[in-house]
Amino acid sequence: MRVLFAYPKFPDTYWSFHHALYFEGKKAAFPPLGLMTISSMLPTDWERRLVDTNVTELTDADIEWAEMVFSSAMIVQKDSLEDIVNRARKFGKRTVVGGPYVSTSAEKLPDADHIFVGEAEDTFPEFLRELELGIPAKVYRAETRPSLAETPPPDYSLIDLSNYSSMNLQYSRGCPFNCEFCDIIEIYGRVPRTKSPEQMLNELDHLKEAGWRGPVFIVDDNFIGNKKNVRFLMPKLIEWNETNAYPFSYFTEASLNLAEDEVLLDQMRTAGFSRVFVGIETPVEESLKEAQKTQNTKRSLIDSIRKIQGYGLEVMAGFIVGFDNDPDDIFDRQIDFIRNSAIPLAMVGLLSALPDTQLWRRLEKEGRLVGYHSGNNSDCSINFEPKMPRERLVEGFKTVLSNIYSPKEYYARALACLSYFGQERRDPRRTTLRSDLKALWRIITKLGIRDRERLMFWKYIYKLLTTNRRQIKHGLTLAAMGYHFRVITERACGAGLR
């Protein structure tokens, strides 16, 4: 059997990091982890290829080669997924789809031959058995939350590692919290399941053997959701890193209560974690309670961020406007909070009702739903009737973006962030001198010569060299990422930023 894995294209959004990848000379941020994992579950004698449309075009010859075409998508990739399925069916190929979009939006899916709803560890072997018997079903729906004990390492033979900025691994699924807008707890549940430490170290072995050196994104939506198991993992991860001469650096996502665990913070720093994404959402307590994100009301948000930064971890954070309880001055409050927290990479979005979430069900009951959301965090779309006038909400959202990603504000936050790193950061990233010089040349020519904000860039570099020389590499990375955010923001707001 010949299987083609076709990964849909991401549109150009904050999360694509497209304009920052240019400086590294990379084509995509991460490879398609789900499809690579499914590949490892196929019979060993099956032929397989992968086309990541974020890296290269999907050709008719690719499709003609295959007997089956597999694809997986997030909501923001849905248009590209539909195109892949339609093209495959045009050539008479059997199509198989799964992933987060499929698992929460089954009634709007393209007409694939086989659909996997939910996690596939139990249902995919069933599909393979029934396929061999000639009786495969149309829909395979996971009825339970499978153990991750049998999840195999990703198949790295499918990809050219040099195309990607980072590799990605998964340690856990699920989150113990109950945020109303979140679809993660609907897909993976509220009882976090983890792989064993031995599994994780085995996956790291595979990745190292594949030749990767550099950043690894642990894609868990809440890495510390199961703190008990994380505490077992971390000492073994530290030992593995030391034994293997620190081939990787790590970044992940976690809830803000990470700040309460100084032992874990110290272990993460020692293991080589460099960044953590946290969901702040809003500084307004009434809106946090509305969203059922009460875990963020139990602690000082700024103090928690500062504690994490003090362990050398850069905080990247998500923010939301559009809650029913947002006050009239919510936009100023968000701007002030982001400035004071010194979070360079602040993902601000309009509240969206994702399918099958508690928010979706509540708004549907209230008669306020207006179709499906695009999944794009920068297109200013709203799929429900907000309490605040829609026009004012969108304009206020644009005001926040225009402020926080203006070069002056962004560079000031980047410098402040670097100054709060109270402990020495470990940066195990392995790059060649040649690649570093190429990246530096691209940054200088793009931001220091061609960019209309080049004067602001050089002021930033001067302050970086005079106040935080040891963090120059990280500071240049932040400059590159800030450029990406500025480009996307100017497109969303329809005007240049100053």
Q: What is the pLDDT of residues 297-309, one digit of tens each?
A: 999 999 999 999 9
pLDDT at residue 400 greater than cutoff 70:
yes
pLDDT of residue 79: 93
pLDDT in tens, 13-24: 988 999 999 999
pLDDT at residue 319 greater than cutoff 70:
yes
pLDDT of residue 445: 97
pLDDT of residue 426: 61
pLDDT of residue 324: 98
**DSSP H or E segment with residue 38:** helix 33-39
- Rounded to 5°, the CA angle 57-63-69 comes to 105
pLDDT of residue 427: 60
pLDDT of residue 185: 95
pLDDT of residue 422: 74
Which tokens hold the place of 124? 């995919």
pLDDT at residue 378 greater than cutoff 90:
no
For residues 283 and 250, is the Cβ–Cβ distance under 8 A? no
Instruction: Please name the amino acid found at residue 320.
Output: I
pLDDT of residue 414: 97
Residue 365 CB contacts under 8 Å (≥ 6 apart), including other chains = none
What is the mean predicted confidence (pLDDT) over 430-458? Answer: 90
pLDDT of residue 375: 81
Instruction: Please name the amino acid found at residue 400.
Output: V
Per the model's pLDDT, the better-predicted residue between 426 and 139 turns out to be 139
For residues 100 and 173, is the Cβ–Cβ distance under 8 A? no
pLDDT in tens, 435-444: 888 999 999 9
Band (pLDDT 50/70/90 cuts) for residue 470 is confident
φ and ψ at residue 319, rounded to 5 degrees: -135, 150
pLDDT at residue 318 greater than cutoff 80:
yes
Average per-residue pLDDT for the chain: 94
Q: For residue 107, with 0-12 CB atoms within 10 Å meaning exposed, 13-18 middle and 19 or more buried, which class applies?
A: exposed
pLDDT of residue 488: 94
Collapse the DSSP code of 173 into the 3-class scheme (helix H, G, I; strand E, B; otherwise coil) and give the result.
Answer: strand
| Per-position b or e across 228-249, b if 16+ CB within 10 A of its CB | ebbeebbeebeebbeeeebbbb
Instruction: Return the number of other C-beta atoms located less than 10 Å from residue 428's C-beta.
Output: 18
Q: For residue 469, with 0-12 CB atoms within 10 Å meaning exposed, 13-18 middle and 19 or more buried, which class applies?
A: exposed
What is the mean predicted confidence (pLDDT) over 81-107? Answer: 92
Collapse the DSSP code of 420 into the 3-class scheme (helix H, G, I; strand E, B; otherwise coil) and give the result.
Answer: coil
Instruction: Return the number of other C-beta atoms located less than 10 Å from residue 390's C-beta.
Output: 14
Instruction: Return the number of other C-beta atoms located less than 10 Å from residue 294's C-beta.
Output: 13
What is the mean predicted confidence (pLDDT) over 362-376? Answer: 91
Q: Comparing C-alpha atoms, which of 117, 149, 190 is closest to residue 355?
A: 117
* DSSP label of 428: -
Collapse the DSSP code of 96 into the 3-class scheme (helix H, G, I; strand E, B; otherwise coil) and give the result.
Answer: strand
Band (pLDDT 50/70/90 cuts) for residue 423 is low
- Sign of the CA dihedral with 337 first, then 339, 342, and 345 last: positive
Residue 247 CB contacts under 8 Å (≥ 6 apart), including other chains = 208, 212, 213, 241, 428, 430
pLDDT at residue 359 greater than cutoff 70:
yes
* DSSP label of 136: -
pLDDT of residue 376: 84
Q: What is the largest CA-CA distance in the chain?
A: 69
How far is 418 from 313, CA to CA, in rounded Å?
Answer: 10
pLDDT of residue 498: 62
pLDDT of residue 109: 73
pLDDT of residue 243: 97
Instruction: Return the number of other C-beta atoms located less than 10 Å from residue 7's C-beta.
Output: 29
Q: Where are the alpha helices (DSSP H) in 193-284?
A: 197-209, 227-243, 262-271
Band (pLDDT 50/70/90 cuts) for residue 105 is confident
Which tokens hold the place of 216? 């690894």
For residues 248 and 215, is the Cβ–Cβ distance under 8 A? yes
pLDDT of residue 248: 96
* DSSP label of 447: I
What is the mean predicted confidence (pLDDT) over 461-486? Answer: 94
pLDDT in tens, 189-225: 999 999 999 999 999 999 999 999 999 999 999 999 9
pLDDT in tens, 126-136: 999 999 999 99
Q: Comparing C-alpha atoms, which of 186, 184, 187 is closest to residue 223?
A: 184
Band (pLDDT 50/70/90 cuts) for residue 482 is very high
Q: For residue 356, with 0-12 CB atoms within 10 Å meaning exposed, 13-18 middle and 19 or more buried, which class applies?
A: middle
pLDDT in tens, 280-292: 999 999 999 999 9
Q: How many distinct helices (H) and strands (E) make up the chain? A: 19, 14
Provide the residue count of the chain.
Answer: 498
pLDDT of residue 431: 67
What is the mean predicted confidence (pLDDT) over 353-381? Answer: 91
